């Protein structure tokens, strides 16, 4: 039987651009005002643009890095001062693509590798503030982004079969798989874990894919 999520607490959606510093400042301040503090930050914004690096425009490269990496930096920069004195946890969503690259994804792969470096640096700088910083590295996850990528392939069904074949567990991950990993790293169960990353890919990278 599937576990039921606890239906407690309140949530507030704030639409914004993570590469826009003024909007990040506003979102952090609104959160602190409405909820009385800030304990957990999950940096999960990301975009992916495919194509050969030598044919990619500077604007496409810049936009990918702005959202995927600069956005995590800006959110952390403005959340950390609000976490000081109360502890806290930051979880950055990187990717297995930080370690294994494929043709045609240079900006995405670079941004996700940068997330690992950012994670380590922030963990060192703010450990004495009681703030832990870790990363989750998902593999193939069944999301709308994944659906769009499959539809763009010449033979989506064959591509899906190939994707499933490289997973020893025999399936793609789900958003809940990633959420559970984030929840663990943000919780007191991970109170002595900081400056590292958790790969959540169904053993795909262990199999050499």
As annotated, the active-site residues are: 108
Buried b (16+ CB within 10 A) or exposed e, 188-205: eebeeebeebbbbbbebe
From the list 49, 89, 43, 102, the residue with the least C-alpha distance to 70 is 43
* Cα dist from 192 to 94, 115, 135, 136, whole Å: 20, 20, 14, 16
């Amino acid at each position: 039987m599937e576990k039921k999520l606890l239906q407690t607490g309140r949530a507030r959606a704030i639409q914004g651009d993570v590469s826009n510093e003024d909007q990040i400042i506003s979102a952090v301040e609104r959160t602190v005002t409405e909820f009385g503090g800030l304990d957990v930050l999950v940096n999960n914004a990301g975009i992916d643009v495919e194509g050969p690096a030598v044919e990619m425009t500077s604007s496409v490269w810049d936009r990918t890095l702005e959202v995927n990496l600069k956005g995590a930096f800006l959110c952390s920069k403005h959340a950390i001062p609000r976490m000081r004195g109360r502890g806290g946890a930051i979880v950055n969503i990187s990717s297995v693509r930080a370690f294994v690259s494929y043709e045609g994804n240079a900006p995405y792969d670079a941004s996700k590798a940068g997330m690992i470096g950012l994670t380590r640096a922030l963990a060192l700088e703010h450990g004495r503030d009681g703030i832990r910083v870790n990363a989750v590295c998902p593999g193939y996850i069944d999301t709308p982004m994944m659906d769009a990528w499959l539809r763009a392939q010449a033979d989506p069904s064959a591509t899906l079969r190939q994707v499933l074949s490289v997973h020893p567990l025999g399936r793609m991950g789900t958003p809940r798989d990633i959420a559970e990993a984030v929840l663990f790293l943000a919780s007191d169960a991970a109170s002595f874990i900081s400056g590292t990353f958790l790969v959540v890919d169904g053993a795909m990278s262990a199999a050499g894919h």
